[in-house]
Structure 1
Amino acid sequence: MTEKSSSEAIRERHASAQARATDDRAFAAWIDGETYETDETVSTYDPVVDEQITSVSVCDASDVEAAVEAAWDAYEGEWNGTSPPERSRLLFEWIDALKGQVDELALLECLDTGKPITDARAEVEGAIDTLEYYASACRTQTSKTIETGDNLHLYTRHEPYGVVGQITPWNFPIWAAAWKLGPALAAGNCSVLKPSATTPLTTIRMAQLSRDILPEGVINVIPGTGRKTGGPLVEHDDVRKVSFTGSVSVGEHVMKSAAEHIAPVTLELGGKSPFIVFPDADLETVVTAAADGIYYSTGEICDAFSRVLVHEDVASEFIERFVSRAKEYVLGDPLNEETTMGPLTSEEQFETVADYVDIGQEKGATLRTGGDRPSDPELADGWYVEPVVFTDVDNDMRIATEEIFGPVQTIQTFGSYEEAMKLANDTEFGLAAGIGTESTDIVHRAAADLEAGLVYVNEYGPILPDAPYGGFKQSGIGKDLGGEALDHYRQTKSVYVNLDDPTL
């Protein structure tokens, strides 16, 4: 097959998939239970062929105002009066609608982000599992009675904020939306959610599938840019709580803006997560874990294992195995089931990764493999980069300290437990960390010593809705997931009831 025909074949395949995914769909804002068109639109692109999938509405301050007003109307008119069992029933009904469209949602996610279709389907299922967790947790919320004396009845109430503002990132659109919406709705809030302008399609479709199930205005989706849409949302005086996932720099701005009207914030920000390979580790196991941790989702994941720290006694063999493993990834069309790595999501991210590969070599790190675009002519128009492995890396190099958000692995060595901990914690981030060892003693000691909100042992993941997810230091404030996330969407009230002796 010639280069031209290869390129034409993949373009035709993706054009057909795009038509199936978007046919008769209006990807506009979703406000007050219906599609809400705006004058301005932005295009979302398929990163495999760098062609437009569809155009999406861009919301401005007036549209944000309409969404916040619709959310308050829904909260005060109906949603605040629903009991936890009723909210749970409605959420499960919405979940059933989502389950009926798993293939459609997976295809949209695949096209919009470039994720392999198998990964996209797993992430749709993960989003649904998250919503199921909170639909169940909705019924288990309890208050507390505090023992005092016979003349006082003291108890607590947990009450929703009312309307919350939520901003999700471009790398895990549907899963991140579920992380935000699940606890917020279960706690009794209404949501105004801004997805990324780059990858908004599945979030909009999720909201559309709530039609005639959730009351109008409970979920509002306002696509657009951070400046035009996100800014007015977090600055809005009637948004009582803000949850943001994204970069540290934007998170700082969100926190400052929310502080202007004393709205509490949950921030899930960046990471530069270490995976520590101790000398007793099973190398086959930890090579797989470290590779999964940096090459899953093409490295565009905040808790990626982007720094491997390996004991000097096993470093040579580990590096040899890891480089071989990196070369095994199948870069290809994400629509093909056998593809294990898709493109980066955008040209901007491709340029960022390419710049870091150059920076690493300029500063003396050794590029063991990767960094080039694949030679397959079918992939020539996509934002592909071969998996990267750097060795001879120091902790003062930018590739070892800055979040790259791509398939770039750095490998460093250590000689003692103390040195490993010092290297691992020598970062401004603290989202995740990994431990590779067969020693229970090392596992528990290292888990205590690592400055990270998540610790994975001998694996990368899993991420379950049952446990809180969030980081230390500049990786964020508060938690997504788990029962703890419910607390971030509720306010606690203490009620003192003074009692007299009963009289007849």
Structure 2
Amino acid sequence: MNFAWQGQSCGSTSRLLVHDSLYDEFVESVVARVRQIRLGNPALETSTMGPINSKAQYDKVCNYVEVAKADGARLVHGGRRPEGAGFQRGYWREPTVFADVTSQMRIAQEEVFGPILSIMRWSDAKQALDIANSVEYGLTASIWTADIGTAMQTARQARSGYIWINGVGTHFRGVPFGGYKNSGVGREESLDEMLSYTETKVINIML
């Protein structure tokens, strides 16, 4: 999850799908990690997360927190304005983590574009793929496993255009970046992007 940009990134992996056998322990680990995020002036090296970029987006994020609570998601971290003199003005929001999110909830279906991570539970591979593919978006996905066969099989079935295996966030030079479904148009960062500016003309001469 791209908390460093307050989740304001089209490639933020904002839904975390965790197997039943690891779920409770993993939620605790995520919360412990998120607690280490240091909010502050993004120009300072000591800060690892800054403010949301506009009032409209700030209001939207605040609303999604309330919507998630109303839908039954369990707030396990954040969800408020941070305390302290430096956070009384501006569009500050704590990094927020919800657990026990289901695929029917709005924070699991809609693009928040803010610092909210949704943790979801699955018990078999088909269920995980159904959850992953249930949204209208399909830009990025990240698959974590020690089995390369499972990784490739899952990647082929995931309806996302840019997939990482055992990693997240890295872009590679010349590799087309773009999504499926309602995630963008075409591809960037590659020859495909250059070709998108090309006008093709065909002239047929009959002799």
1:313 to 4, 13, 21: 21
1:380 to 88, 112, 125: 88
Amino acid at match of 1:419: Q
Q: Is the 8 A contact 1:390 1:409 kept in 2?
A: yes
Distance in 1, matches of 2:10 and 2:187, equals 14
1:329-387 superposed Cα distances (whole Å, 9 cap, x missing partner): 00011121110000000111111111110111111111001011111211221211111
Measured after TM superposition, the shift of residue 496 of structure 1 is: 6.1
Measured after TM superposition, the shift of residue 463 of structure 1 is: 1.8
Distance in 1, matches of 2:203 and 2:58, equals 55
1:11-61 superposed Cα distances (whole Å, 9 cap, x missing partner): xxxxxxxxxxxxxxxxxxxxxxxxxxxxxxxxxxxxxxxxxxxxxxxxxxx
Q: Is the 8 A contact 2:11 2:169 kept in 1?
A: no
Identity of aligned residues (%): 35
1:148-198 superposed Cα distances (whole Å, 9 cap, x missing partner): xxxxxxxxxxxxxxxxxxxxxxxxxxxxxxxxxxxxxxxxxxxxxxxxxxx
Amino acid at match of 1:476: G
| 1:322 equivalent in alignment to 2:55 | no
Instruction: Name the structure 2 match of 1:430.
Output: 138
RMSD over aligned CA atoms reads: 1.6
Structure 1 unmatched runs, 5+: 1-292, 500-504
Instruction: Name the structure 2 match of 1:112.
Output: none
| 1:485 equivalent in alignment to 2:193 | yes
1:475 to 176, 179, 183: 183
TM-score (norm 1): 0.40
Amino acid at match of 1:343: P
Instruction: Name the structure 1 match of 2:63.
Output: 355
2:162 to 454, 461, 466: 454
* Paired residue total: 207
Instruction: Name the structure 2 match of 1:38.
Output: none
Distance in 2, matches of 1:490 and 1:443, equals 36
TM-score (norm 2): 0.95
Instruction: Determine helix, strand or coil for the equivalent of 1:419.
Output: helix
Distance in 1, matches of 2:64 and 2:190, equals 35
Superposition map of 1:20-419 within 5 A: 293-419=1-127
Structure 2 unmatched runs, 5+: none
Instruction: Name the structure 2 match of 1:23.
Output: none
1:269-326 superposed Cα distances (whole Å, 9 cap, x missing partner): xxxxxxxxxxxxxxxxxxxxxxxx2313010011211111111111111111001111
Q: Is the 8 A contact 1:432 1:455 kept in 2?
A: yes
Measured after TM superposition, the shift of residue 465 of structure 1 is: 4.1
Q: Is the 8 A contact 2:2 2:12 kept in 1?
A: yes
Instruction: Determine helix, strand or coil for the equivalent of 2:199.
Output: strand
Task: Name whichever structure is richer in helix by fraction.
Answer: 1
Instruction: Determine helix, strand or coil for the equivalent of 1:310.
Output: strand
| Closer, same or farther: CA 497–315 of 1 in aligned 2, 3 Å | same
Distance in 2, matches of 1:461 and 1:392, equals 25
